[in-house]
Amino acid sequence: MGNISRFMNHSCAPNVFWQPVQFDHEDDRHPHIMFFALKHIPPMTELTYDYGDIGADSSGVHSPRAKNCLCGSLNCRGFFI
Ligand SMILES: C[S@@+](CC[C@H](N)C(=O)[O-])C[C@H]1O[C@@H](n2cnc3c(N)ncnc32)[C@H](O)[C@@H]1O
């Protein structure tokens, strides 16, 4: 089950981003999710994308769905959804 994105980890400094794209049919209710490079990606580099923000409420409490981020980037937010 799933598609190739199930193998892609989150990073707070990702090298790809996703975008809905209408492709090969006219039904805009069902776009394809396509991944695009944010920069040059050398061979054998892990592809990562930003899963989304931490989902904190106004008092800064994180969503119970938030997970600790281990991406290791300099600007790591510490959490992802
Ligand atoms: C879609 S899977 C990604 C592939 C998964 N790591 C694997 O080996 O199959 C998403 C899960 O990977 C883990 N994960 C992905 N990115 C992570 C990150 N930056 N820090 C910690 N765990 C991460 C989390 O457990 C998350 O729920």
CA of 41 to the centre of ligand 1 (A): 20
Spell out which residues line ligand 1, taking CB within 6 angstroms: 6-7, 9-11, 67, 69-71
- The angle at the Cα of 79, spanning 74 to 81, to the nearest 5 degrees, equals 130
The preferred substitution site among 67, 74, 75 for testing ligand 1, maximizing ligand atoms within 8 Å of CB, is: 67
Tens of pLDDT along 43-70?
999 999 999 876 666 676 777 788 999 9
For the chain, what is the largest distance between any 2 Cα atoms, rounded to a whole number of angstroms?
Answer: 45
Question: Does residue 61 or residue 27 have the better pLDDT?
Answer: 27
> So what's the ipTM on this one?
0.98
Determine contact, residues 35/18, Cβ cutoff 8 Å.
yes
